[in-house]
A and B are shown apart, each in its own frame.
Chain A
């Protein structure tokens, strides 16, 4: 069973005096978790630490314990350059090729993933010519191709339209990834699929539990049906 555990984690970026994460205690198992908080609360930094990318790419200083058990795929909020190859097919081929699959298996897997994400017609188009919604689906397909046990998405609903959001929610519930971590402040679409919500404020976890019981910070977009009249 894959999990990520953070114990008393402090993190700051290089050349910065301020700690962005100030004593985060969090453990995530086989569940769908949404991490929310207002802008500047440290959501993106938390995701970077949880995926192991923070120290490798940004450096900085990390205190406390971070335990990552399982294969992690992390799709950042700016996902343009998450896709490394000129066409989606080449991208999927590249990633699947590294998993020692035979020719047939790779082709089958490409078909499966592109059907799941609805990108079958886009496979041979240039990524740079795709619309943003299409690129996002390709980015998520690319992450799925890594065969992760833990999928981490940073604000996937930030740029998509309401129709795309509905499709994305359906997709996320059918993905078959055991652990899903999403950072979002637009919660109205996610209400029905998540198991737990974690509220981050000023670098620490102030709440972890069900959606109903969470403190209703006005800067976060709660589903309107959830607000008391």
Chain B
């Protein structure tokens, strides 16, 4: 019998292998292939640090990181991404002509922001523009830190819609459970520098992992349980 030595090559777009960083990250293992992956956990758990390691802004003390050269990102304060007075000028740098910018913004339903002043946008609008800026230069993956901080309910829906229309893999760090529930496919629960649990969003949210780390149950899940229902994801329904 002939034996073949088969080398398993990681196809993951982004991968963290046993990453340690100071006293913040203590052996993080995670993989991102496609779709929208969320890092869920309390403030100070290390979510932002994990994102910074992914974009190579921080070098881990131990372990290795696999990530593409070009990773777009949008961070806690969306206004930090702005360098020009108007939204149009921001995108003109990348897209060449006013018509192309209009088309680009229009394809995400944001044509109305074309002539607005960047630093005068509301937080929600600034977040949307910041995400588009992170995407327009053609990166292979996108990383977003706390996209819903300071946003009203309506603005959160808009961000969720925007993220779901993006084709490249997205990693979100957030403590907004309802937002994660409607946006991401896969979840890593982060607490105190460790990955405590991972899995399909609904499975994780229906287990009591979140309560174990001190989070109250998402209201939608609580109501579902009270009514004796189990929420099903779109994929489950389709299959």
Seen from chain A, the residues whose Cβ lies within 8 Å of a Cβ on chain B are: 38-40, 77, 131-134, 155, 158-164, 166, 185, 188, 218-219, 221, 224
Which B residues, 109 to 157, have Cβ-Cβ distances below 8 Å to chain A? 122-124, 146, 149-150, 152-154
Look across to chain A and name the residue whose beta carbon is closest to the beta carbon of B174: A161
Q: A39-B122, A166-B216 are in contact. Are A161 and B42 (CB under 8 A)?
A: yes
14 CB-based A-B contacts, threshold 8 Å: A39-B124, A131-B43, A133-B42, A134-B44, A158-B150, A159-B149, A162-B42, A162-B175, A162-B215, A163-B214, A166-B214, A218-B153, A219-B153, A219-B154
In the complex, how many angstroms separate the beta carbon of A163 from the nearest chain B beta carbon? 4
Q: Which residues of B contact A131 (CB under 8 A)?
A: 43-44
Cα A166 to Cα B43 with chains together (Å): 13
Q: A132-B43, A133-B44 are in contact. Are A159 and B150 (CB under 8 A)?
A: yes
Look across to chain A and name the residue whose beta carbon is closest to the beta carbon of B223: A224
Cα A163 to Cα B152 with chains together (Å): 20
Look across to chain A and name the residue whose beta carbon is closest to the beta carbon of B76: A132
Q: Which residues of A contact B215 (CB under 8 A)?
A: 161-163
In the complex, how many angstroms separate the beta carbon of B74 from the nearest chain A beta carbon? 16
Instruction: Report the number of A-B residue pairs with Cβ-Cβ less than 8 Å.
Output: 51
Extra contacts, 15 of them, besides A161-B43, A162-B177 (Cβ < 8 A), are: A38-B152, A39-B124, A40-B122, A77-B150, A131-B44, A132-B43, A133-B43, A155-B150, A158-B150, A161-B215, A185-B152, A219-B152, A219-B153, A221-B153, A224-B223
In the complex, how many angstroms separate the beta carbon of B201 from the nearest chain A beta carbon? 16
Q: How many chain B residues touch A (Cβ–Cβ < 8 Å)?
A: 22
Which B residues, 202 to 224, have Cβ-Cβ distances below 8 Å to chain A? 213-216, 219, 223
In the complex, how many angstroms separate the beta carbon of B57 from the nearest chain A beta carbon? 16
Instruction: Please report whether the interface of chain A is mostly helix, strand, loop or mixed according to DSSP.
Output: loop
Cα A218 to Cα B154 with chains together (Å): 9
Q: Which residues of A contact B177 (CB under 8 A)?
A: 162
Q: A188-B219, A218-B153, A224-B219 are in contact. Are A164 and B122 (CB under 8 A)?
A: no
Q: Which residues of A contact B223 (CB under 8 A)?
A: 224
Q: Which residues of A contact B175 (CB under 8 A)?
A: 160-162
- List the 10 closest A-B pairs by CB distance, nearest first: A161-B175, A163-B214, A133-B43, A131-B44, A161-B42, A162-B215, A224-B219, A158-B150, A161-B43, A163-B42
Look across to chain A and name the residue whose beta carbon is closest to the beta carbon of B45: A161
Which B residues, 160 to 187, have Cβ-Cβ distances below 8 Å to chain A? 175, 177
Q: Which residues of B contact A162 (CB under 8 A)?
A: 42, 175, 177, 214-216
Cα A188 to Cα B189 with chains together (Å): 23
Q: Which residues of A contact B43 (CB under 8 A)?
A: 131-133, 160-161, 164
Q: Which of B41, B149, B213 is within 8 Å of A158, CB to CB? A: B149
Look across to chain B and name the residue whose beta carbon is closest to the beta carbon of A131: B44
Q: Most B CB atoms within 10 A — which of A155, A159, A188?
A: A159
Q: Most B CB atoms within 10 A — which of A38, A131, A163, A218?
A: A163
In the complex, how many angstroms separate the beta carbon of A125 from the nearest chain B beta carbon? 12
Cα A218 to Cα B215 with chains together (Å): 25
Cα A93 to Cα B83 with chains together (Å): 39
Q: A133-B43, A134-B44, A163-B42 are in contact. Are A39 and B219 (CB under 8 A)?
A: no
Look across to chain B and name the residue whose beta carbon is closest to the beta carbon of A77: B150
In the complex, how many angstroms separate the beta carbon of A210 from the nearest chain B beta carbon? 22
Cα A162 to Cα B150 with chains together (Å): 14
In the complex, how many angstroms separate the beta carbon of B124 from the nearest chain A beta carbon? 8
Q: Which residues of A contact B76 (CB under 8 A)?
A: 132
Cα A97 to Cα B54 with chains together (Å): 45
Q: Which residues of B contact A161 (CB under 8 A)?
A: 41-43, 175, 215
Cα A188 to Cα B218 with chains together (Å): 12
Look across to chain A and name the residue whose beta carbon is closest to the beta carbon of B24: A131
Q: When each residue 32-47 of chain B gets 1 if its CB lies under 8 Å from chain A and 0 otherwise, what string results? A: 0000000001111000
Q: Which residues of A contact B149 (CB under 8 A)?
A: 158-159
In the complex, how many angstroms separate the beta carbon of B126 from the nearest chain A beta carbon? 12
Cα A132 to Cα B48 with chains together (Å): 11
